[in-house]
Structure 1
Amino acid sequence: MKRINVVGTSATGKSTFSRSLAAKLGLHYIELDNLFWLDDWQECPDEVFFAKIESEAAKAAAGYVIDGNYTRAIPVKWAEIDTVIWLDLPFPVNLYRSIKRAVQRAWSKQNLWENSNNQESLQRMFGRDSIVWWMITTHRRNRQKYLRMMNAPEYQHIRWIHLKSQKQIDAFLQRLNA
């Protein structure tokens, strides 16, 4: 495992897991949200986003852990990938975590990513662009998509690790210490 992409629905703990995994394996951490989101919730154009991914991967001679989905970026982010780790928590767990995280972020008013000024707000949390609503509407679709991808011939060269509970996630990270 030297070139890893951690995927999963919002609020599965991808960022926390990815940072820990990168640290334990001594790999470069790449957060796709940080590369994609510009100030004031503006989206990065695909060609710029893809170039940012390629640039970050090029900095990582020893390997990297990419944190995030962004299906449209698969040709770029999976060009040299050897492992996909899918964090696939049950819907109630994701719903609880989404709400909790959104409230905490709205309360703290912290910037969400290093490279942008974006913050969560109560107005945004209950609006059409809510991360909670996004999780609700994409949870089932993401599960179906990753199940298809795991079995797709074009991705059989990739090692898939499917973690379905926080207990499995914690055990996976713990095994890396052994």
Structure 2
Amino acid sequence: MERILVVGVTGAGKSTLARTVGGRLGLPYHEMDALYFTGPGWAVDERLTETVSRLVAEPRWIVDSLGAPEVRDLLWARADTVLWLDYAKRVVMPRVLRRSLRRSVTREVLFGGNRETWAGWLSREHPVRWAWSQHAGRHREIEHLTRDPRFAPLRTLRFPHPDDTAAWVTSL
């Protein structure tokens, strides 16, 4: 495991797991949202493809995303391992609700200096609504990518419950 993608629906715990595994294995951790959103108003980095191309050229890394569409194939073609947090909605939704509530209350500064706002809760793209509406589709998308022959050989570790993930991390 030298080049790892941590994938799952919004709120599953991808960033937390990627930081933990990266620390244990000595892998440089890259947060996709921080690479993607680089300015106020949730501005997207115009050089994202260039940035990710440099990142995946490195021999060792861990990224907490299946990848934005414009860089997805770059990440998957270079990864050797996928850690899939394939959690049910009943697991993910309380997590994403707590996280978004905390971020809204504390006005936590996020990627590119942005913040989650109370008004943002009305958007279809708000993390809570996104996690709910995209759950089944994201599952199908990840399942397809893990079986895509373009990305072979690719070791996939699928964790259906946080207890499975925790046991695996303990075994590292």
**2:65 is the counterpart of 1:68:** yes
After superposition, residues 1-178 of structure 1 pair within 5 angstroms as 1-39=1-39, 40-45=41-46, 48-58=47-57, 60-61=58-59, 63-72=60-69, 73-113=71-111, 116-176=112-172
- Give the match's secondary structure for 1:101: helix
Task: Give 4+ residue runs of structure 1 displaced > 6 Å after superposition.
Answer: none
1:94-121 per-residue CA deviation (whole Å, 9 max, x = no partner) reads 11111111000011111123xx111111
1:5-29 per-residue CA deviation (whole Å, 9 max, x = no partner) reads 1111000000000000000000100
| TM-score (normalised: structure 1) | 0.89
Structure 1: any 5+ residue segments left out of the alignment? Answer: none
- Give the match's secondary structure for 2:113: coil
RMSD: 1.5
- Give the match's secondary structure for 1:78: helix
Structure 2: any 5+ residue segments left out of the alignment? Answer: none
- Tell me which amino acid in the other structure corresponds to 1:155: F
- Tell me which amino acid in the other structure corresponds to 2:136: R
- Structure 1: how far apart are the matches of 2:124 and 2:2? 38
Shift of 1:71: 4.7
- Tell me which amino acid in the other structure corresponds to 2:106: S
Shift of 1:128: 2.9
- Give the match's secondary structure for 2:99: helix
- Structure 2: how far apart are the matches of 1:56 and 1:69? 14
- Tell me which amino acid in the other structure corresponds to 1:52: T
